[in-house]
Amino acid sequence: MGVTGVLIIHNDSALLGHVLASVRPLIDRLVVVDGAYDWVAPVCRLAGEDPERSTDGLLEVLADSGIPYTRICGTWRNETHKRRASLEACDSARVMRIDADEIYAVDPARLEAFWHSPHALGALQVPLLVHPDAILTGGGDAPVPRAPIFMNLARAGIDDILAGMWLVRPRHEATGRAGAARVHPQALGMCYHLTAFRPAGAAYRRARFYCLVSMRIAGKVGLGLNRPFAGDGEMLEILSDLDPGAVDLAFRLHRIAACFPEVGPRQALRVFELPGEGMPAQIRAIHADMLASQAEKTRAHLDRELVLFAGRPCFLDVTREVAAGRGLRLESLDGGASTMRLHLDHGLARETVEAGDRGMIAATEGMARARRAVLELSVHPPQAATGRARLAVR
């Protein structure tokens, strides 16, 4: 019996070639649902993007995969609507959910046992990789989380399947339905979550999306303004009235766009060993590509005027500058104050260095040994929503 892979996507193809290579032995065909959500579409247009279809090389990646596919384009009310469309387009009961930032390693015997079980959902362990040999997870001995990846539509209807999935949505879009689809008790393998390994351009679009999602859920435009709104139209009106350069930089220099996940108070970095020989080499190469793209992005922002929202932190990867022993200085261009701190990533530990009295951070030998050095900067102009600054490297 065939297995259909379902992929929802919009301009997020940077890692997709690796993803599809990992699922090629597991699926017979692919349903691709392309396009932005209705409420994101105006932002896409402002950025010069087509909200109804990807223009980042998606078709070339799909062709190179060798997997037969059907592509459905348009804009969508929300994630539930888009995922429902992907499931309704399947011509088989056996389905695999595929995300554009995950590489899959599935145990064939366990998967076959799941298909013949009474359960509707089959889960994989989903470690969030921060480095090729470290993951971010719950503190202590917390297990690696699981997520439903395989679905058997012969065991449960689409409504129950969707209720059992983790979807990002505000309260007014929640169905209130409890998931009745039963999950197979045994993990069927691993799903390596590489959201922190996206190259800079794809990471920027991801950061922009999650910033907008957070605003919708909170009911107010953040960006240091905290301005409430009553609906999507009002949110977009507020964004349209703001300095477009500052809005763009708020997304482009977000922590997500810097591929630098925050370690929360109940989280920890933990050693994680990838199995086999091919997988570690592949993931190390993806990680190296991300670091190179971050370095290129940083060079584009050095010694140039930056227009930033007052008090909003921005993040830049300065690993290469620190490794070369170069110091950093943030200069306010309109008389306001500025703050800067350097986050050093040592693999399983992090350290923060505050700027000195003169707004300088001088690189040291200890800093140069860090795996990553990510600069957090912000400006505090007098009585203004935005401020101008320049980041200099000496």
Q: What is the mean pLDDT of residues 354-367?
A: 84
DSSP SS3 for 343 = strand
pLDDT cut 70: percent of the chain above it: 96
pLDDT(57) > 90: yes
All structural domains of the chain, each given as residue ranges with its CATH number in brackets, are 3-196 (3.90.550.10), 302-394 (2.60.120)
pLDDT digits (tens, 9 = 90+) for 5-44: 999 999 999 999 999 999 999 999 999 999 999 999 999 9
CB–CB of 222/228 below 8 Å?
Answer: no
pLDDT digits (tens, 9 = 90+) for 134-183: 999 987 778 899 999 999 999 999 998 988 775 655 555 555 554 567 89
Asked which of 132-136, 209-213, 358-362, 385-389 is least confident by mean pLDDT, the reply is 358-362
What pLDDT, on a 0 to 100 scale, did the predictor assign at position 276?
78
Q: Encoding tokens for residue 385?
A: 């929503």
- Listing DSSP states for 104-122 in one string gives EEE-HHHHHHHHTSS-SEE
Alpha-carbon distances of 203 from 198, 277, 297, 376, rounded to whole Å: 5, 27, 11, 17
CA 70/CA 205 separation, integer angstroms: 24
pLDDT digits (tens, 9 = 90+) for 245-277: 999 999 999 999 999 999 998 899 999 988 877
What pLDDT, on a 0 to 100 scale, did the predictor assign at position 164?
76
| Per-state percent for the chain, helix, strand, coil, to nearest 5 | 30, 30, 40
pTM of the complete model: 0.92
Q: Encoding tokens for residue 99?
A: 């995300």
**Residues 6 or more apart whose Cβ sits within 8 Å of residue 271:** 133, 134, 348
What pLDDT, on a 0 to 100 scale, did the predictor assign at position 167?
60
Question: If phi over 0 gives left and psi between -120 and 50 gives alpha, with beta otherwise, what is residue 221?
Answer: beta
Q: Encoding tokens for residue 240?
A: 């349209």
pLDDT(107) > 70: yes
